[in-house]
A and B are shown apart, each in its own frame.
Chain A
Amino acid sequence: MSTCVLKTENLSIGYGSRCVAEGISLQLEEGRILCLIGPNGSGKSTLLRTLMRQIPPLKGSIFLGDRKLDRIPEQELARCSAAVLTGRPTPELMTCGELVAMGRYPYTGRLGILSEEDRAVVRSSMEMTETAFLRDEDFTRISDGQRQRVLLARAICQQPKLLLLDEPTSFLDIRHKLEFLLLLRKLAETQNIAVVLSLHELDLAKIIPDRILCLKNGHVDREGKPEEIFRDDYIRRLFDVEEKTYIAVYGEAGAPF
């Protein structure tokens, strides 16, 4: 019995008059992870930004739970959907603890002062992401791997039902990529959060998500479970690479580790 958290119907995304991709219909239940893959410019980030309501959809509709996304008031939206964005924020003189506590924004009062309950959520979010020891460190002075985990802790702190991550692993080395995604997997399952993320690492896309959505040339090229996507030489066709280069880059089929 899992409830549907996110649903889109015949969604067209893009900027102004320029349509990036159209006809996107997807559905995601709580605790599930959906991974977006596709070549650069295929609309992965655009789709995520549309789901975050940072840009309006060109056509079609998005539902969070049973409500239309554009009807949800700002504060309420922030209570059910949280984000980890690309790029690295560089706040001046901010400790990791303060940054994570920012996730309580939609719950605190006019002046943003944390209640005892808020503090408890901050603590548990940092513990879940193994960042509690970073609490008093300056956010701009920690390693990239730690930084992504702190940003994840901030998003968890919002206690969302839906978590949207735009290429969360791009600055990390392979070990930290894997650690981060396994942590995400664990959080999705234990906290019952639906997760949508975009990835460039196909080897990891094979093992982490429940479902994969492939975007290419302005439409959904394929959608399904990882084993359905990574069949035959579909990936090679998705990225338009020659057979030899693909093998050289990713090796033969099988586990990458």
Chain B
Amino acid sequence: MTDQRNRRTGACFALLAVLLLGLGVLNLLVGSSRLGVQEILSALLPGQGGSMAASIVRSIRLPRLLAAALLGGALSVSGFLLQTFFGNPIAGPFVLGISSGAKLTVALSMIFCLSHRIAISSAGMIGAAFCGAMLSMSFVLLASRRLRGMGMLIVCGVMIGYICSAVTEIAVTFADDSNIVNLHNWSQGSFSGIDWEDLGVAALTVAAAMAFTVLIAKPMDAYRLGESYAQSMGVNIRRFRAALILLSSILSACVTAFAGPISFVGIAVPQLMKRLFRTAKPLVMIPACFLGGSVFCLFCDLLARFLFAPTELSISSVTAVFGAPVVIWVLLTHRKGAER
């Protein structure tokens, strides 16, 4: 039976890897300008730069595809961490207002820098997003002390999200002309316009956060039995909870800094992965959520670009179409007893 479990886990990982690869290739092939397989292949190989195809693939499609995979994975791991923290199956960076908080501070610092003609670095963006994420997070934490039950916490988070979004909209409306279009696109959520420098910084941040996340997989496992049991097994609860909050904030801040707020990935993907793998063991779920989030976002980004081409949809509206039903499904099938 245990062998059977291991085999299932292996098969699921293999499935995700195949999907990831397939969607990656599709994302390279599909786009507003038609490119043949031959052209794309030669563009991927080093040398022979300069051609139109090469520059499209190298500076538009490839970074966008990598960003979707990287940030999608980060986002769903962030959701998984939050679900563990709150013992709440529908917690996630978007519904708890954490993405919106990050969005607000990033928008404000972008407007400030643009109007003062200061160039803002990729790391600066992440820093700003992290401050916003922590701001929202502290509101949610304060609220969670007073609120009982998972519903109220989510309502509170959604309200925080609305407040932050409203302030962002107001700020964008009164911002100076030229870069508003760009800012507006970003605040709707999109994987476009990410260059190689951004991608490098994002990859480093996500990789570091993921490494720490894997290191807290063991206490996360014990925490599934509740705080008291975890403590009785030797988990330092205070340190563990702080690590969960910090890591989930860093991951979702990194996503928001470069792609704007992206809805429902953080809830939907961990839930889907739990049901696919038939386990919730963190050591399996952390890589599974990352891969699953990559696959989910590559798929949604493909649809966003392809469905009404040449008009592009915002990534958030596509993820919502697929993610929100998952949340409803979770609510309907969630057993009462599973609340902590």
Contacts and interface: CB of A to CB of B under 8 A. Distances in A.
B236 A74 contact: yes
A85 B232 contact: yes
A2 interface: no
Contacts, number: 85
A105 B340 contact: no
A85 B225 CA distance: 11
Contacts of A82: 232
B281 A106 contact: no
A142 interface: no
Interface stretch (B32-40, B68-76, B158-166, B213-221): B213-221
Interface in A81-97: 81-83, 85, 87-94, 97
Contact of B222 (A75, A81, A102): A102
A85 B229 contact: yes
Given A74-B234, A77-B234, A102 B338 contact: no
B235 to A, nearest CB: 8
Contacts of A90: 337-340
Interface string B160-189: 000000000000000000000000000000
Interface in B256-283: 274, 278-281, 283
Interface in B315-340: 335, 337-340
Contact of A91 (B218, B225, B236, B283): B225
B224 interface: yes
A249 interface: no
B234 A54 contact: no
B58 to A, nearest CB: 38
A106 B218 contact: no
- Which of B225, B226, B233, B279 is packed against the most chain A CB atoms within 10 Å? B233
A45 B55 CA distance: 69
B138 interface: no
B228 interface: yes
A57 interface: no
A54 B225 CA distance: 15
A92 to B, nearest CB: 5
B218 A111 contact: yes
A108 interface: yes
A256 to B, nearest CB: 32
A54 B224 contact: no
A78 interface: yes
A92 B283 CA distance: 15
Nearest to A87: B226
Contacts of B335: 140
B226 A93 contact: no
A89 B225 contact: yes
Contact of A78 (B1, B234, B279): B234
A92 B226 contact: no
Nearest to A109: B218
- Which of A94, A105, A111 is packed against the most chain B CB atoms within 10 Å? A105
- Kindly state the interface size class of chain A when it binds its partner: 35 or more
Nearest to B232: A83
B279 A102 contact: no
A135 B1 contact: yes
B42 interface: no
B224 A105 contact: no
A221 interface: no
A223 B317 CA distance: 68
Contacts of B225: 89, 91, 99, 102
B231 interface: yes
Nearest to B89: A92
Contacts of B338: 90, 92, 140
Contacts of A103: 233
Interface string A45-86: 000000010100000000000000000001101110111010
B215 A52 contact: no
B118 to A, nearest CB: 43
Contacts of B89: 92
Given A54-B231, A102-B222, A110-B218, A91 B280 contact: yes
A233 interface: no
Contacts of B224: 89, 91-92, 94
A93 B224 CA distance: 10
A110 B338 CA distance: 28
A41 interface: no
A105 B218 contact: yes
Interface in B191-220: 214-215, 217-218
Interface of A: 52, 54, 74-75, 77-79, 81-83, 85, 87-94, 97-99, 102-103, 105-106, 108, 110-113, 135-136, 140, 158
8 contacts: A54-B228, A83-B228, A93-B279, A94-B224, A102-B225, A105-B218, A113-B283, A135-B1
Q: Which 10 A-B pairs have the closest CB atoms?
A: A78-B234, A112-B218, A105-B233, A91-B224, A83-B232, A74-B234, A89-B225, A93-B280, A136-B1, A92-B280
